[in-house]
Amino acid sequence: VTASGFTEDIPNREKVGGPQPSSVTYIFDRQRDTVYSISTKEIPGIKDLPDYLKDYPKELEARKKANEDRKVDISGLYWNGDGKYAVVEVNSQDNKDRWIMKLNVPTGQLSLLDRERNEAWVGGPGTGNLGWTDNTHFYYETEESGYAHIYVVDVVNDTKKQLTSGRWEVQTLQLSKDKKTFYFTANMEHPGVTNFYRMPVSGGTPVKLTSM
């Protein structure tokens, strides 16, 4: 019963699958005095449809006929230390894909560094843990292996390296100020037990610091 005595609607989305707002990310080039958008058309898999649509033949057929790009949200603009490279995170609004993309700032074009696809839901521990270890290496977490682990990608040659692995997950992640060490919490010993670890940014065996 509300204070007014009447039914009152809460201003929120009724369902996760309900309509969501769309957005376009623009770049303002002060030197050229021009504005242009970041292009998402070349993102690998931008037209890929989620598997659940196979259970809804009419909707699947309509979506295939429309052949539209999926709606995405671009978050973050991560510049490296010398301002030569920029990286953005792109998430599909259907929550099936997350892309780490290198941004060509003068053109607004994107090139792929990493793609995570999950027919259930892209997310989980470590979402949002990403940044630069130096001017050419970008770190992030992904559940590509089925568990949330730390990866580093070289933005020059697009090669990536998995730094942690196993049937456990990195839950929180912090890069040291000198950018030489990762500090993180993980349930390495048991799914319900969290401990604190450190590891060089180049990888190696994590060292347990304390129990939590």
What is the pLDDT at residue 212? 59
Decide if pLDDT at 14 tops 70. no
Give Cβ neighbours of residue 35 (< 8 Å, ≥ 6 apart): 26, 27, 28, 29
Mean pLDDT calculated for residue range 78-101: 96
| CA separation for the pair 208, 134 (Å, rounded) | 25
pLDDT recorded at residue 22: 84
The yes-or-no verdict on residue 34 having pLDDT over 70 is: yes
Q: Please report the pLDDT score of residue 126 as a whole number.
A: 84
Rounded distance between C-alpha atoms, residue 147 and residue 167, angstroms: 7
Q: Is 77 exposed, middle or buried (0-12, 13-18, 19+ CB in 10 A)?
A: middle
> Can you give the pTM of this predicted structure?
0.88
> If pLDDT is split at 50, 70 and 90, which confidence band does 3 have?
confident
Q: Which of 181, 141, 180 is nearest to 164 (CA)?
A: 141
Average pLDDT over every residue of 28-53? 95
pLDDT of 13 strictly over 70:
no
